[in-house]
Amino acid sequence: MVAGLTGKVAMVTGAGQGLGEATARRLAAEGATVAVVDLDGGLAEGVARSIQGEGRQAFAVKADVTDRAAVRAMVEEVGRRAGAPDILVNNAGGFPKVKMLLEIEEDEWDAILALNLKSVYLCSRAALPGMIARRRGRIINLASAAARSLTNFSATHYAAAKAGILGFTRHLAYEVGQHGITVNAVAPGTTLTPRVQRARTPEDQARIASLIPLGRMGLPEDTAGAVAFLASDDAAYITGATLDVNGGKVMM
C-alpha cells in the first residue's frame, strides 16, 4: 500500500484497457475514487463495473481527450460526480503500427501527436484550476522508453510525441510547483498489454525479453505501481522526474 490516496479523486485517461485499466484498478485498490475515462464508453463501463464489484469506488466517463470541449466536459462531469480531481493520469495514447517516416502521411502524424501529446496539454489545462485552488495535486504523464532511447523500433510520430511529454512534464512541474502540485512522467518499456500481444508475435516477445536485464517484458501492473507511487504522499518531494519502468532495458 502507498500513503495518502484514500478519499482522493483520480482521473485516468485511456483506462478502458491495458496500462490505463491496470492503473485505474491500482488507484482504486489504494482507496481513490477513480474516473475511468476512455473514448470507448463500453470499455470504460466494463472496467468501472469490475472495480465496483471488488468493493472499490469507480465510474466511467466517455470522452475524446483530443477535443478541448470534450475534455472540459469530462472534468466538469468528474467534478459533479466525485469532486475535482486530485490526481490526473494522462495515459491515453498509442500508435496503430510500426511505420517508416515516408509511410506516414500528414493526417496520421497530426492524429498521433494529438492523441499522445495534445491530450496531455488539454487534460492538464482543464484539471489544473481545481488543483491550484486547493493547493494540491498530482499529474502523472505516461511517456515511453521510445522517448528515452531507441530500444525497440516504434514509429517517429509516436517517439516524437512521447519525447514531447518529457519536456512538457519538466516545464509544467516548474510552473505549478509553487501551488503544491507535482508533475512527473513514467516511461514504460514494451509492456504486455492486449495491443502489444496482438501486434507482437511470440517470437518477437521472446526476442524483446531476451534483451532486458530482468529477463521479461513488463506487465501493466508494473507501470500501475509506479504511477501509484508518484500519486502518493511518499512522492511528495518528487517533481519534474521521469521514472523508467523497463526492466533495465534503458538506464539513464
The residues that are catalytic are: 158
Q: Residue 18 and residue 24: Cα distance in Å, rounded?
A: 10
Give all strands (DSSP E) within the chain, no chain letters. 9-12, 33-38, 58-62, 87-90, 137-142, 181-188, 242-245
Angle of CA points 166, 168, 169, to nearest 5°:
65
Q: Residue 108 and residue 95: Cα distance in Å, rounded?
A: 9
Q: Residue 101 and residue 158: Cα distance in Å, rounded?
A: 11
With cell 501551488, the residue in question is 179
